[in-house]
Amino acid sequence: MADIQTSASDKKEKEYFTHLPQEAPGFFLKGSHQYDWGLKNRLSRVFNPKDGRTVMLAFDHGYFQGPTTGLERVDQTILPLEPYADCLMLTRGIQRSVIPASTTKAIALRASGGTSMISPMEEWEGELDGKKLKLSRPGFEPLSNESTALTIEEAIRLNASILAVQVFVGSAYERQSLKNMTDLVDAASRYGIGVMGVVAVGRAMARNAQYFRLATRIMAELGANVVKCYYLEEGFDTITSCCPVPIVIAGGKKLPELDALKMCFNAINEGANGVDMGRNIFQSDAPVAMMRAVQGVVHGGLNPKKAFEMYNDLKSDKKKAKK
Ligand code: R5P
């Protein structure tokens, strides 16, 4: 029970600081200053409040492509990288079966799915003017036919900071994937959990700045707290500039390490708030060295040349230690 002050002398003088108005500071993260406390706190676990950036380690690829190269044994290949990530992007299956519950890293939980890389194409077969035809319907990206893949209670049980949902703007399932995202935003925002809309690219979707501006902005307008998109050499700054919430980049297919580090550096300089990278780290010849070099670019202010030197030094240290 709170004590009751009986006389002015038996306690320290109260100080109301009447001359100092309480500050109402902004928040370090783009577009996030008006969120509630819980959501801001969760986003502060994903993005480092010191610089507003993140290195998310993406290894959710198995949700549609099974044992992806480098992820055959997540316990062997990903756990050694965990200490160097700010956030782990993964499926609930891998989280429960492999990731120690003692991890202190933020969780970006895959929340959409339901298709696989061998989903059948939607095709039409028939006859036209006496000729047999087989046509694929434009825009029917088989992978885009996703649903939401977990409930909000499951996300809470797994202590997710942010939920990741694929959005296929321009595909025949555009509306459905946007509905998946808005449903998750409605559910997640009730509990202060964030939603990250992931720009999916497919045959029907052009990989250019105009497309990425459209897709990222639509997701932000419909409530995504963070958007994940690919880096582009041309016009990436126009994408980050007109998206009112943070953008993180996917790494995409494996590149030579120096090129991947240049991509991270350029993305950060052109307004990205970090990376959500997978194959360029776990498919590297030296994944821990690459992870630390990416950290060096994103949080340490290293340029690509310095980061590549760091990568090579760490890689050769490991080789020496093995001898
Ligand atoms: C996205 O759809 C996947 O689930 C990955 O999270 C994403 O592609 C990032 O991984 P990567 O850097 O390998 O492209």
**pLDDT per residue as tens digits for the range 182-212:** 999 999 999 999 999 999 887 667 789 999 9
| Residues within 6 Å of ligand 1 by CB | 58, 60-61, 89, 166, 198, 250-252, 276-280
pLDDT the model gives residue 122: 63
Q: What is the pLDDT of residues 33-60, one digit of tens each?
A: 999 999 999 999 999 999 999 999 999 9
- What is the rounded CA–CA span in Å between residue 238 and residue 267? 12
Q: What is the pLDDT of residues 275-314, one digit of tens each?
A: 999 999 999 999 999 999 999 999 999 999 999 999 999 9
**How far from 52 is each of 200, 212, 225, 246, 247, CA to CA, in Å?**
24, 22, 14, 9, 11
For the residues 93-100, what does the mean pLDDT come to? 98
Written as one letter, the residue type at 242 is C
pLDDT the model gives residue 275: 98
Q: What separation in Å is there between the alpha carbon of 277 and the centre of ligand 1?
A: 6
- What is the rounded CA–CA span in Å between residue 258 and residue 284? 11
pLDDT at 1 over 80: no
pLDDT the model gives residue 19: 86
Question: Among 163, 168, 198, which residue has the most ligand 1 atoms within 8 Å of its CB, making it the best to mutate?
Answer: 198
Question: Which residues have C-beta within 8 Å of that of residue 38, sequence separation ≥ 6?
Answer: 191, 192
pLDDT the model gives residue 18: 79
Question: Among 279, 283, 290, 291, which residue has the most ligand 1 atoms within 8 Å of its CB, making it the best to mutate?
Answer: 279
Q: What separation in Å is there between the alpha carbon of 19 and the centre of ligand 1?
A: 52
| Cα–Cα–Cα angle for 162, 112, 34, rounded to 5 degrees | 30
Question: Which residues have C-beta within 8 Å of that of residue 229, sequence separation ≥ 6?
Answer: 199, 212, 215, 216, 239, 247, 248, 249, 250
pLDDT the model gives residue 37: 96
Query: What confidence category does residue 9 fall into, taking pLDDT thresholds of 50, 70 and 90?
Result: low
**For ligand 1, atom 9, which residue shows the shortest CA distance?**
250
**For ligand 1, atom 4, which residue shows the shortest CA distance?**
61
Query: What confidence category does residue 10 fall into, taking pLDDT thresholds of 50, 70 and 90?
Result: low
**For ligand 1, atom 6, which residue shows the shortest CA distance?**
58
Q: Which atom of ligand 1 is nearest to the CA of 63?
A: 4
pLDDT the model gives residue 3: 53
- CA-nearest of 224, 64, 231, 232 to 141 is 64
Question: Among 56, 59, 61, which residue has the most ligand 1 atoms within 8 Å of its CB, making it the best to mutate?
Answer: 61
pLDDT at 24 over 90: no
What is the bridge-based pairing of β-strands 147-148 and 112-113?
antiparallel
Percentage of the residues of the chain whose pLDDT score is greater than 70: 90
pLDDT at 123 over 70: no
- What is the rounded CA–CA span in Å between residue 230 and residue 236? 9
pTM comes to 0.90
Q: What separation in Å is there between the alpha carbon of 61 and the centre of ligand 1?
A: 6
Percentage of the residues of the chain whose pLDDT score is greater than 90: 75
- What is the rounded CA–CA span in Å between residue 275 and residue 271? 11
Question: Which residues have C-beta within 8 Å of that of residue 50, sequence separation ≥ 6?
Answer: 299
Report CA dihedral (199, 212, 228, 202) to the nearest 10 degrees: 30
Mean pLDDT of all residues in the chain? Answer: 91
Contact 307, 295 (CB under 8 A): no
Q: Is 305 a catalytic residue?
A: no
Catalytic residue among 40, 105, 228, 315: 228
Is the domain 37-322 a CATH 3.20.20.70 member?
yes
- CA-nearest of 281, 316, 249 to 80 is 281
pLDDT the model gives residue 129: 73
For the residues 244-264, what does the mean pLDDT come to? 97
pLDDT at 239 over 90: yes
